[in-house]
């Protein structure tokens, strides 16, 4: 039966089209252009590569009267910190009186912070060396190099500071929008992430821990590798030319690496 003239607006457009196509022909309307979308590439879990061993942080500290990370060489009432002055461009570890403010507590001067801590950005931070994350408390990693101004120059102190990690999303371009000079990156071999100084190294460029890759990439071996969402059909994904999205133990949860040959 065919309908002529006006049809009640309560009928759906799809129903009207089907009726129209079938009138006078005895044929059923079909859409020959509809096809199932191609399946999403699977995400691969790879547990064969163990995490890197932590570096020997205490051995990486600058040599001097004491050790920044272990605090050896100073009495219990003292703290090993960088020693420098305004007239000579020289920095070395030395002992000075320790305060009472603990990790994360506010400080105004170095004298406020307890043994093994350094006042930076108005809070007491744990001293560490060589990127040794085991020197830091849970939720932090040894990721901020410590520089001081000595003799009118900004010089490395031969130590680093433990700062909070897992504060951003390495797959979100605007994850560090409140710090324009920083971008979210993987900052240690455990998969910890943090807002870190911006880099210029792009996909496929040579890289090293001291010259990290730009946001959305990670330094794997000695090349910048694309990060991907470790979830089927999620973005960013790996193109066929970039390989498969593989989540290794060194990657944050929900994040993988575009890996050829998988």
pLDDT of residue 105: 98
pLDDT of residue 137: 97
What residues are paired with 248 via a beta bridge? 46
Sort strands 255-259 and 223-229 into parallel, antiparallel or unpaired. antiparallel
pLDDT of residue 30: 45
Strands (E), the chain: 43-46, 78-83, 92-97, 117-120, 123-128, 140-150, 153-164, 182-186, 193-197, 217-220, 223-229, 244-248, 255-259
Q: What's phi and psi for 112, nearest 5 deg? A: -75, -30
Q: What DSSP character marks residue 74?
A: S
pLDDT of residue 38: 65
pLDDT of residue 42: 81
pLDDT of residue 7: 33
pLDDT tens-place values along the chain, 262 residues long: 333 333 333 333 332 223 333 444 444 444 555 566 667 778 999 989 999 999 999 999 999 999 999 999 999 999 999 999 989 999 999 999 999 999 999 999 999 999 999 999 999 999 999 999 999 999 999 999 999 999 999 999 999 999 999 999 999 989 999 999 999 999 999 999 999 999 999 999 999 876 789 999 999 989 999 999 999 889 999 998 999 999 999 999 999 999 998 8
**Prior bond of 96 cis (ω within 30°):** no
pTM: 0.81
């Amino acid at each position: 039966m065919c309908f002529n003239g006006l049809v009640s607006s309560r009928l759906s457009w799809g129903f009207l089209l089907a009726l129209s196509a079938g009138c006078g022909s005895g044929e059923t309307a079909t859409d020959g252009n509809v096809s199932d979308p191609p399946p999403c590439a699977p995400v691969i879990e790879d547990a064969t590569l163990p995490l890197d061993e932590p570096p020997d942080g205490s051995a990486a500290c600058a040599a001097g009267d004491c050790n920044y990370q272990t605090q050896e060489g100073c009495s219990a009432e003292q703290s090993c910190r960088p020693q420098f002055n305004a007239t000579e461009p020289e920095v070395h570890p030395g002992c000075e009186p320790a305060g009472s403010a603990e990790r994360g507590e506010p400080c105004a001067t170095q004298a406020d912070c307890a043994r093994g801590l350094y006042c930076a950005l108005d809070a007491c931070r744990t001293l560490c060396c060589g990127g040794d994350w085991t020197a830091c408390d849970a939720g932090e990693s040894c990721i901020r190099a410590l520089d001081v101004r000595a003799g009118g120059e900004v010089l490395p102190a031969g130590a680093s500071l433990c700062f909070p990690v897992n504060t951003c999303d390495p797959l979100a371009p605007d994850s560090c929008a409140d710090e324009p000079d920083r971008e979210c990156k993987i900052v240690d071999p455990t998969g910890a992430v943090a807002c870190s100084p911006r880099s210029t190294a792009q996909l496929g460029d040579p890289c090293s821990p001291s010259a990290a890759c730009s946001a959305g990439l990670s330094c794997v071996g000695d090349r910048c590798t694309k990060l991907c969402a470790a979830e089927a059909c999620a973005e960013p994904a790996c193109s066929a030319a970039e390989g498969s999205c593989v989540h290794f133990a060194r990657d944050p949860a929900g994040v993988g690496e575009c890996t050829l040959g998988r």
